[in-house]
């Protein structure tokens, strides 16, 4: 495991690594931002704030664009990938939580047990699937990462990540991330939230809200 720096003031809502650059969206009213970051040093390369009344949520990279959800504003912000400048807005119904792009479509969570599939250009809904583990619904699906035909999702308020088959909605694996954050850092930190696949490897960057570090890890069988 490799430990990397992370902005401890960041209420992390979305995390994605693309082209060697780490993109992070943060939440909270009056302080939500989207930024690009040097993953090795933690240095911010570019940053754009949201409006004070907007609460940022999940993000994903799709070509030369970045999409960013909002929690209760029912709008997705579409941005230039390099400058992070907003270029348009697209509305949707309900809450926005997590978002990822699998190369063909967007996958979105809203805090329920449902993943919604969306067109990567129009953001129109194209389908959905209910997520289950042992035939029981898995709710509060939060930050998402699409990789290898699967969807990895943080479960809100828990130290676990579920691996989901987007075709069936079945959970095919559960990652126990408890103990990742040392006790001396946990007192001022919030929940685990943030998954970014490292291109060309089977590794991931993990972090959480107000965490002082990113952790580069590999998921292995117990």
State the Cα–Cα distance between residues 5 and 18, nearest whole angstrom: 18
pTM of the predicted protein model: 0.94
State the Cα–Cα distance between residues 112 and 139, nearest whole angstrom: 5
Taking 90 as the threshold, does the pLDDT of residue 222 lie above it? Answer: no
Taking 90 as the threshold, does the pLDDT of residue 185 lie above it? Answer: no
Q: How confident is the model at residue 221 (pLDDT cuts 50, 70, 90)?
A: confident
Tens-digit pLDDT profile for residues 10-47: 999 999 999 999 999 999 999 999 999 998 999 999 99
Closest CA to 100 of 134, 64, 52, 68: 68
Tens-digit pLDDT profile for residues 58-76: 999 999 999 999 999 999 9
Helix (H), strand (E) at residue 183: helix 183-186
Phi, psi angle pair for 205, to nearest 5°: -95, 130
Tens-digit pLDDT profile for residues 86-137: 999 999 999 999 999 999 999 999 999 999 999 999 999 999 999 999 999 9
Let me know the angle formed at the C-alpha of 177 by 165 and 181, rounded to the nearest 5 degrees: 150
Which residue matches tokens 């939500």?
32
| All residues at 6 or more sequence positions from 64 whose CB lies less than 8 Å from its CB, including other chains | 80, 81, 82
| All residues at 6 or more sequence positions from 30 whose CB lies less than 8 Å from its CB, including other chains | 52
For the chain, the domains span 2-218
Tens-digit pLDDT profile for residues 124-150: 999 999 999 999 999 999 999 999 999
Write down the architecture of domain 2-218 according to CATH: 7 Propeller (2.130)
């Amino acid at each position: 495991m490799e430990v990397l720096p992370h902005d401890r003031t960041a209420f992390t809502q979305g995390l994605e690594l693309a082209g060697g650059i780490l993109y992070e969206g943060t939440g909270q009213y009056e302080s939500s931002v989207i930024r690009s970051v040097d993953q090795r040093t933690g240095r911010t390369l570019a940053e754009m704030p949201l409006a004070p009344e907007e609460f940022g949520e999940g993000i994903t990279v799709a070509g030369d664009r970045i999409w960013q959800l909002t929690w209760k504003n029912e709008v997705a912000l579409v941005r230039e990938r390099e400058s992070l400048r907003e270029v348009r807005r697209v509305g949707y119904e309900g809450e926005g939580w997590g978002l990822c792009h699998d190369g063909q479509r967007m996958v979105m969570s809203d805090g329920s047990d449902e993943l919604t599939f969306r067109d990567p250009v129009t953001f129109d809904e194209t389908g959905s699937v209910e997520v289950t583990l042992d035939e029981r619904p898995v709710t509060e699906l939060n930050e998402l990462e699409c990789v290898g035909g699967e969807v990895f999702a943080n479960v809100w308020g828990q130290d676990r990540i579920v691996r989901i088959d987007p075709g069936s909605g079945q959970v095919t694996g559960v990652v126990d991330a408890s103990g990742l954050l040392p006790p001396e850092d946990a007192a001022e930190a919030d929940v685990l939230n943030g998954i970014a696949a490292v291109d060309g490897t089977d590794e991931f960057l993990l972090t959480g809200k107000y965490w002082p570090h990113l952790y580069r890890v590999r998921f292995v069988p117990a």
